Structure 1
Amino acid sequence: MFGECHAHLIMDGLNYRRAVDLHADGVKDKVIQSRFRLYQELGILFVRDGGDAGMVSKRAKELSGEYGIDYRTPVFAIHRNGHYGGIVGCGFDTLREYHQKVMDAKALGADFIKIMTTGILDFNDHGKITGQPLDKEEVKEMVHIAHEEGFAVMSHTNGDYGVQAAIEAGADSVEHGNYISEETISMLADSSTVWVPTLVTVRNLMGSGRYDSQILARIAAQGEENLRLAYRAGVKVALGSDGGAYMVPHGWGLMDEYHAFLDILGTLAKVAEIDDWLTKGEKEIRERFKRDA
């Protein structure tokens, strides 16, 4: 099975607050171990985490070897205060403070740096991203600082402006990347950035009753068309489900993501061709998102 290139071991796929509260008085090894056992049973032996604010992914890295899992983590994500990101990490106000967060992550054993440059999808309003994206010059400097410290950069980013800024900055991967245009997809194809679409964060909400099904269908349809365009353009793409997000269970979420790719691209390519495409993307992730010795 492919590796999981975007997960959050701290989350449980059902209730974020409850999942975080489980570790309120200390990280619970049994919770992490149960999730690793599931990944192991499903043959998923590579997991790249997106970090958290509670040191759960740091402890997960220490436990992962017991299950034969190659686990990579930023320990925590880094966001500008007042912008989206507190759910998974730590904030900064100045670039000097950002640099210190990078050094803090290094001291804690981070394998790479994760930055948050935009908000998330507004599931009640098709086409809308919450909050304001970071200025592209700031994103460029954030990526530069992390690279100078020997780290690859995972960028949580949505929308044309945000994704184009991340690409131009040299981010090593863009996570989610919703609501992007054909021009941005062309930029991805011409860059070294790997795109991790996390399609099931939308698809798995269908029928849940949590959001308007018509709005979800429109969001999903745009994501599907962008994936087809990315395949035709030769964008580097890796499989990641955002495992642990709402309605995206650990392990099985990756299976859902893989089958979504087959469903969407089935008229364009054979399974073996899709597998080859994803294998190349995962190889890029494995090679880049590790500590620079």
Structure 2
Amino acid sequence: MFGECHAHLFMNGTDYRQAVRDHKNSVNISKVREELTAYQTNGITFVRDGGDKYGVSELARELAPEYDIEYRTPIFAIHRKGHYGGIVGKAAETLKEYADLVAEVKCRKGDFIKIMVSGIMEYEEFGRLSEPGLEEEWIREMIHIAHEEGMAVMVHGNGRDAVLAAVEAGADSIEHGNYIDTECLDAMAESDCVWVPTIVTTGALLGCGRYPEQVLEQIYEKECENLAYGYGKGVNIAAGSDAGAYLVPHGDGILWERKILVETLTNLGYNEAGVKERIWLGESQIREHFCKK
């Protein structure tokens, strides 16, 4: 069974505000156990969390062995103050503050560093992000500082410029990677970076009525197009669903993501066994690098 390479256990897949209420004052242990049970039921034995500011993933890692799950977490994600990322972590106004947060992650025995270098997709309009990516210098320094501390770096990134800067700076993984181009994918193919495309976050929205269907279809088509190009170029790809995101449940989300990856590529003529092996190799790379040093 494939593992889940991108989840947020504190989110519930249906109502973000309720998820915050569940954990804001103290971690709701019963909710954590409920989600871990969902993974166990589906035979998933590896989960890499994207972090949160409530201590949910930290507790999940502590409880996970009871469910025969190997759990990795950055404890919290780090974003630049005034930019996207408060939903899952802490802010740094200066690079010195960023370095201090990296030190906090290490002190709390985080398995890796998670950074936010761009906004998220605006599903009302194709091609639009909630905000531009960070400057190349900031991205480069964030990755450099984490690497100097011996930590692998998980990068939330969308848009060509931010993703390309992160890959060229040595990012260990790119999460999402929407609205990137062939230059980004070529750079990934030439690096050791693993791409976790989380296509199911768009796929799950198709037909739900929340966003314009034509826009969702355009986004989904572009995601699958990039997946096909990247796979053909030899990009390291791993399966992660962003479980906890809207309509992406824990446990089932990764099964849907894996199905999208495999079906998209086999429909283009790639061998199914070969596709599954490539995805497994990407996950294996994540298991190897995204751990405490």
> What amino acid does structure 1 have at the position aligned with 2:104?
D
Counterpart of 2:145, as a letter, is: I
CA–CA distance in structure 1, aligned partners of residues 269 and 168 of structure 2: 29
Q: How does 1:223-234 map to 2 (within 5 A)?
A: 223-234=223-234
Q: Distance in 2 between matches of 1:241 and 1:75?
A: 19
Q: Say if 1:80 and 1:91, in contact at 8 Å, map to a contact too.
A: yes
Deviations 1:172-226 (A, max 9, x none): 0000000111111111100111100000110100011110000000000000000
**Paired letter, 2:169:** A
Q: Give the match for residue 51 of structure 1.
A: 51
- Contact preservation (8 Å) 2:12, 2:244: yes
Partner of 2:169: 169
Query: What is the letter of the counterpart of residue 92 of structure 2?
Result: F
After the TM superposition, which residues 60-139 of structure 1 pair with which residues of structure 2 at under 5 Å, given as runs?
60-139=60-139
1:196 aligns with 2:196: yes
Whether contact under 8 Å (2:200, 2:256) holds in the other structure is: yes
The percentage of aligned residue pairs carrying the same residue is: 50
1:235-284 Cα offsets, whole Å, 9 max, x none, are 00000000010010001010100110122111221210111110110011
3-state SS, counterpart of residue 61 of structure 2 = helix
Counterpart of 2:183 in structure 1 is 183
Deviation of the 1:132 alpha carbon: 2.0
- The question of whether the paired residues in 1 share the 8 Å contact of 2:7 and 2:47 is answered with yes
SS in 1 for 2:6: strand
Please say if residues 2 and 44 of structure 1, whose CA atoms lie closer than 8 Å, have aligned partners that are also in contact: yes
Mapping for residues 136-285 of structure 1, pairs under 5 Å? 136-266=136-266, 267-285=268-286
Contact kept? 1:50, 1:114, Cα under 8 Å? yes
**Which amino acid letter does the alignment assign opposite residue 207 of structure 2?**
G
- Between the aligned partners of 2:122 and 2:236, the Cα distance in structure 1 is 26
- RMSD of aligned alpha carbons: 0.7
Alpha-carbon distance in structure 2 between the residues aligned to 1:41 and 1:83: 37
In 1, the alpha carbon distance for the partners of 2:208 and 2:48 equals 27
Tell me, in whole angstroms, the C-alpha distance in 2 between the residues paired with 1:231 and 1:143.
25
User: TM-score normalized by structure 1?
Assistant: 0.98
Deviation at 1:38, TM superposition (A): 1.2
Q: Tell me what 1:12 maps to.
A: 12
Question: 3-state DSSP class of the match of 1:123?
Answer: coil
Deviation (angstroms), 1:25: 2.2
Aligned-partner Cα distance in 1 for 2:184–2:23: 39
SS in 2 for 1:253: helix
Query: Which aligned segments of 4 or more residues in structure 1 are displaced greater than 6 angstroms?
Result: none
Post-superposition Cα deviations, 1:87-113, rounded to whole Å, max 9, x if no partner, equal 000001000000000011111120000
CA shift digits 1:97-152 (9 cap, x unpaired): 00000011111120000000000001011011111211111111110110111110
SS at match of 1:19: helix
Query: Is the partner of 2:20 in helix, strand or coil?
Result: helix
8 Å CA contact 2:262–2:276 kept in 1: the answer is no
Distance apart, 1:24 and its partner CA: 2.2
Q: Is the 8 A contact 1:154 1:173 kept in 2?
A: yes
After TM superposition, give the deviation of residue 65 of structure 1 in Å: 1.0
Is the CA contact (8 Å cut-off) linking 1:188 and 1:235 kept in structure 2? yes
TM-score, scaled to structure 2: 0.98
